[in-house]
Structure 1
Amino acid sequence: MDMLEVMLEGPRARGAFLLRSLLEPPWSLRIEDEAALAVVSVTRGTAWLLTDAGERHELGAGDLAIVRGPGHYTACDRPSTPPSIVIGPGGECSSSADGSPLAEVWGRGVRTWGPGERGDTVLLTGTYEDAGETGRPLLAALPDVVVLRRDAWPSTLPDLLAQEATIDAPGQRAVLDRLLDVVLISALRTWFAGRAEEAPGWFRAQGDPVVGTVLGLLEAAPERAWTVSELADRVGVSRAALGRRFTELLGQPPIAYLTQRRLQLAADLLLESDATLPTIARRVGYGSPFALSAAFKREFGRSPQEHRRGGLGARTAVGG
């Protein structure tokens, strides 16, 4: 079971916001889009990323950053340049001085924007507005900013994404969604692989012959009425040994992990499908919609119906 692939089921591009920014010094963008995750690639020039927590990252051409949201941050030519542009939810661009909209004024063609034509610095930014509940373990494992230098990750994928971003053709939005996902997966795989000992338990667990096998069973069939005894029999260890090894790596026993994953899957299904609550309950292993509703409210503090209404409303508000 590839646990990185499993976790990335949440943050998946679906009509993701993608933009090339042509920038000339002095420039500074205040990013307040509330996105769950952003991928920022410098295709020309240099840029700084400043987080509200005080982190400073200088990026050169070919470098890529993954910014964990929904916190705000600043992208600029140098740390001393004050923000002149604010990027809000849905990629809405406005002047920080008077709030006037800039998206149409500074439009430079297909998915391209900036105050000038030259673009001493060119940024390609792709944002995931929502990572889903299933993507929460992935986001929790990331720092505020992940930086991959071109020499450590000499991938041509960002260049391909930048080329495709300027094309306006049938099906292009789907092409860009797929490419953005591939960029994110490839970058995170490289970043996690270089930090094997610091990687989260779910990433390290996939290499464990006992816990990795059990994770595969649980993720492949979360609707099944698994017991610790059955899982232990499948991997040839005692219940106690399985519980101990699983908890050491995942921070909780197998059935507690399964319960959490079932509820995360249910939360995403409520927003991504029009399936009824009884159907979702069956798909994630609950005997009735009432049992799912009770467990859902304990986990998230709201009913499945409230979750579905609130999530769809938020997506509509940002044009998703």
Structure 2
Amino acid sequence: MDLLSDVITAMRRGQPHYARTERRAPWAVRHRPFDGAGFHLVLEGRSWLIPQDGSPIELRAGDLAFLPHGSAHAVAADPTVLPTDLPSSPLADPHQDDHPDDARAGSPTVMLCGAYLMNRARPHPLLGEFPELVHLPAHLGQHSSLRGATELLATELAEPRLGSDALLPALLDALLLYVMRAWLDERPRHEAATGWTAALHDPAIHAALQGIHGAPHRPWTVEELGALAGLSRAAFARRFTTLVGQPPLSYLTWWRMTTAARLLRTYDAPLKTVANRVGYTSEFAFSTAFKREHGLTPGAYRRQPASADPHTTDADRRATGSGEHLRSEH
């Protein structure tokens, strides 16, 4: 599992929601804030995205606007049109196709709107570095993979065929990763002097993070992680803390507990198996660390209703290994 995929796995919950809309001017709708990340992709025509704070941004065909923090905003045919609140979010109905009954003079605007629900209780620091709005214009020759994903999405929505219901969620997941990749690639290096963006571009710290994420069960020491990074213990500890925002072993514990929560919700493996998967040979030590991080014992956490916790997605199963592998460790 690579680091960017881990960021998504740590926060995502449930399936992405999406809706294809077609409207004719004049129109304007207001989207309320929500606990997740959303996007608007213009398939045909043009529109304006109006953030709660900031200037309106024109979106042309092929342009994508990504709102990583689920901020309130409006989308309109013209920024001067007064927006109306949606009676219910179109993102709630994955098969909605909005065709207004009244004939209007303006040319149609066709858009794909999507939403990814996120666990804000344990936000990954990388997502916190994203701005309120990311605008990715459809420039020729840029972000070819992102453009390919958007074209596939548009095709599946316009002409659903056998397998479309399975393809669309997968394409939406791919779109999220391509959007994040594009922003990371475009972010000026002088803005990434610190933080997770810099850590991903720093070969030494990136190597240490790969070690932690790839084998959270290992009894890592600062010296061993420093050796992976090719740095002395002191130099590594300073650089890691500066870029990641916490010392190496503190981040190791955070990632172990994030992984443990996902395993507890996704599988019925015994607590001992889960403890071993995240580096604890003692169930008591694991339970103590887990309660300190989550406020509940592992057993109580697992018994919570699934709707109360974010760690129950198909992506989790792909990220943490097969259920058969876990059951073999009973």
Task: Report the TM-score, using the length of structure 1 for normalisation.
Answer: 0.79
Tell me how far apart the structure 2 counterparts of residues 81 and 294 of structure 1 sit (CA, whole Å). Answer: 56
Deviations 1:97-132 (A, max 9, x none): xxxxxx7xxx9xx54223248971111012112357
- Any residues of structure 2 matched to 1:166-177 within 5 Å, and which? 166-177=158-169
Name the residue aligned to 1:72.
Answer: 72
Tell me how far apart the structure 2 counterparts of residues 88 and 296 of structure 1 sit (CA, whole Å). Answer: 38
Asked whether 1:23 is paired with 2:18, we answer no
Asked whether 1:203 is paired with 2:197, we answer yes
Q: Does the 8 Å CA contact 1:7/1:134 hold for their aligned counterparts?
A: no
Which of 132, 139, 146 matches 2:127? 139
Q: Does the 8 Å CA contact 1:13/1:177 hold for their aligned counterparts?
A: no
Name the residue aligned to 1:260.
Answer: 254
- Any residues of structure 2 matched to 1:213-224 within 5 Å, and which? 213-224=207-218
Shift of 1:262: 1.4
Question: Which residue identity is paired with 2:8?
Answer: L
Question: SS in structure 2 opposite 1:206?
Answer: helix
Name the residue aligned to 1:114.
Answer: 99
Name the residue aligned to 1:185.
Answer: 177
Shift of 1:149: 0.5
Asked whether 1:158 is paired with 2:153, we answer no
Q: Does the 8 Å CA contact 2:260/2:275 hold for their aligned counterparts?
A: yes
Select between 28-37 and 298-307 the one with higher mean Cα deviation.
298-307
What is the percentage of aligned positions where both structures have the same residue?
36
Shift of 1:27: 1.6
Label 1:256 to 1:59 Cα distance change in 2 as closer, same or farther (>3 A). Answer: same
Asked whether 1:225 is paired with 2:219, we answer yes
Question: Which residue identity is paired with 1:115?
Answer: P
Name the residue aligned to 2:307.
Answer: 312
Tell me how far apart the structure 1 counterparts of residues 31 and 266 of structure 2 sit (CA, whole Å). Answer: 27
Shift of 1:172: 2.3
Shift of 1:58: 2.1
Question: SS in structure 2 opposite 1:75?
Answer: strand
Shift of 1:177: 1.6
Shift of 1:11: 5.5
Deviations 1:161-196 (A, max 9, x none): 022124444532321122112222222212211114
Tell me how far apart the structure 1 counterparts of residues 55 and 223 of structure 2 sit (CA, whole Å). Answer: 47
Deviations 1:6-60 (A, max 9, x none): 3233456853212110111222222237241112101112222223334532211
Label 1:171 to 1:287 Cα distance change in 2 as closer, same or farther (>3 A). Answer: farther
Question: Which residue identity is paired with 2:251?
Answer: Y
Asked whether 1:149 is paired with 2:137, we answer yes
Select between 122-131 and 271-280 the one with higher mean Cα deviation.
271-280
Question: SS in structure 1 opposite 2:30?
Answer: strand
Question: Which residue identity is paired with 1:128?
Answer: Y
Shift of 1:274: 4.2
Name the residue aligned to 1:243.
Answer: 237
Question: SS in structure 1 opposite 2:254?
Answer: helix
Greater helix share, 1 or 2? 2
Q: Does the 8 Å CA contact 1:18/1:125 hold for their aligned counterparts?
A: yes
Question: Which residue identity is paired with 2:98?
Answer: W
Q: Does the 8 Å CA contact 2:199/2:243 hold for their aligned counterparts?
A: yes
Question: SS in structure 1 opposite 2:5?
Answer: helix
Name the residue aligned to 1:318.
Answer: none
Tell me how far apart the structure 1 counterparts of residues 182 and 97 of structure 2 sit (CA, whole Å). Answer: 29
Q: Does the 8 Å CA contact 1:33/1:90 hold for their aligned counterparts?
A: no
Please give the root-mean-square deviation of Cα atoms over the aligned residues, in Å.
3.2
Q: Does the 8 Å CA contact 2:16/2:173 hold for their aligned counterparts?
A: no
Tell me how far apart the structure 1 counterparts of residues 234 and 295 of structure 2 sit (CA, whole Å). Answer: 32
Select between 134-143 and 155-164 the one with higher mean Cα deviation.
134-143
Q: Does the 8 Å CA contact 1:37/1:67 hold for their aligned counterparts?
A: yes
Question: Which residue identity is paired with 1:186?
Answer: Y
Shift of 1:298: 3.4
* Unaligned 5+ runs, structure 2: 311-330
